[in-house]
A and B are shown apart, each in its own frame.
Chain A
């Protein structure tokens, strides 16, 4: 019986520890560029989707929030963090893509004078996926959200869009289908900081929900940009450029090459799911949560290659 008591104590201690709210911290990684680094975790009922890197860029006239967080409460925490760092008002909320860990904080920022900005495909993607995301948030994240958590963009970026924050310009680029079909990057000219969001995964295994070939092409284009530091969607800010892109690129190339070879030999999706890329497991966090799905998505794309 003493055993049982111990089990119970450990269980409640673990619950109490996990229930404690981690403080919401932002670091100024370059003058006026603030980042909250998310935990490298799978979205669940404990973290409630608070896993992505989110933050803001401060100009003389305006603040641009870059991704709003994984739920409305995290959006509120981010809003409070902005207010703690500057008196400058938020004018823009930039949604880098449709995934819930990046946009479910939007509701906290809805107000007159704040414009939501997204890729030209974001509204469509939000329309097609919103319903599904609300359901999975209820089931997997214990978040009960309604359609007002889905905020469609007021400003749509066709190709590139320059936002003037006052004494500081940020350049938004709508990329081709890559991580998703609605990836938007943010480049701060003043500090040569590139906010890539989920176009770059650091240590966290990349997740493919757009186009493998498009993502590889995008990485090659990005590598030519003048960049002093890069903010990934998941993982630590990096200063080696374009070296920071390399592990992700190698992972995507491995997917491409192994799956292509398998398709040429007449291999099936089932074989690909069992075999492709297993050697990469030790190099990536959350490999078992996402890798097979990446293989599945990549296979479905590559089997249509000419």
Chain B
């Protein structure tokens, strides 16, 4: 079909609500306004932010099949050296009721500032990862995601099973940890991470929010990853991160939720 040949026809079709992509584009532009007018001033003041993939690159599914469980990855493009490293990655989801998903703090001992996790996306939205390097500079990569209802969506299929395991944690390693080498680990936390947006239409009561707000991971007492998180993190939070075991020891996670319930777990690392 040669589009330019039928301009009027397409006008008519447009009037019947076809060609959704254009409305999506408009939504994306509107989101840019949320960022410029609200989020950027709130979290970064008037500091300049370079938009590039030179420091970090965000990967997210363009269409999230499950808006309450969208897997995303943040890849660091610079090594964590003592002289220059990624200090903090802030994750924002523009259209979520609480756009702040989390701030993740690294050290040179993190080895690599890569991260992966699962998030809730409540509306078609830009997702932004903003890295602050140790020299204070800010760098952002953003990705548009089509998903909706991730925050008001019900908690997993089996709430009973999740509540029964509340606070349980597991570590997994990608490959065999090696001394002095960056090693990828995964922390699985069983927690419903209730958003507080599931309103009972009959009683008008809201299931109160219950979510993890702090994550601290150390290796032999030294910080590897520290994070403040909010309701945009999916139920049963799952973080993949890196650390460098200089020798055998213990990887430890300390978690605190908004009801001040604390959970800890640790895993021996041997070679």
Contact = CB atoms under 8 A, between A and B. Distances in A.
Contacts of A3: 5-6
B202 A130 contact: yes
Interface in B203-246: 203, 205, 207, 235-236, 238, 240
A258 B267 CA distance: 27
A134 B154 CA distance: 13
B178 to A, nearest CB: 15
Chain A CB within 10 A, most for which of B65, B158, B159, B205:
B158
Contact of A296 (B69, B172, B175, B240): B69
A128 interface: yes
Contact of A136 (B5, B149, B236): B149
Given A136-B149, A211-B158, A297 B66 contact: yes
Interface residues of A, number: 44
Contact of B154 (A128, A139, A303): A128
Contacts of A269: 69, 71, 118, 238
A293 B66 contact: yes
Contacts of A301: 157-158, 161
A127 B203 contact: yes
Interface in B96-118: 116, 118
Given A7-B9, A210-B157, A300-B156, A293 B65 contact: yes
Contacts, number: 118
A132 interface: yes
Contacts of A129: 153-154, 198
Contacts of B173: 266
Interface in A1-22: 1, 3-4, 7-8, 11, 15
Contacts of B36: none
Contacts of B46: none
Nearest to B116: A268
Given A135-B149, A292-B65, A304 B165 contact: yes
Contacts of B170: 304
B71 to A, nearest CB: 5
Nearest to B235: A300
A76 interface: no
B25 interface: no
A273 B72 CA distance: 12
Nearest to B188: A303
A132 B202 contact: no
A209 interface: yes
Size band of the B side of the interface?
35 or more
Given A177-B160, A266-B175, A147 B202 contact: yes
A147 B204 CA distance: 10
A168 to B, nearest CB: 32
A300 B236 CA distance: 8
Nearest to B190: A304
Nearest to B197: A131
Closest 9 CB pairs of A and B: A127-B200, A292-B65, A147-B201, A130-B201, A4-B6, A210-B157, A296-B66, A129-B154, A293-B65
Interface of B: 1, 5-6, 8-9, 12-13, 16, 61, 65-66, 69, 71, 73, 116, 118, 148-149, 152-161, 165, 168, 170, 172-175, 188, 190, 198-203, 205, 207, 235-236, 238, 240
Given A128-B155, A150-B202, A292-B66, 11 more contacts: A11-B13, A127-B203, A128-B154, A131-B200, A181-B157, A181-B160, A297-B69, A297-B157, A301-B161, A303-B188, A304-B168
29 contacts: A3-B6, A4-B6, A4-B8, A4-B9, A7-B6, A8-B9, A126-B202, A127-B198, A127-B202, A128-B154, A128-B200, A131-B199, A131-B201, A132-B153, A132-B154, A135-B152, A181-B157, A181-B158, A210-B157, A211-B161, A266-B173, A268-B240, A292-B65, A293-B65, A297-B69, A300-B69, A301-B161, A304-B161, A304-B190
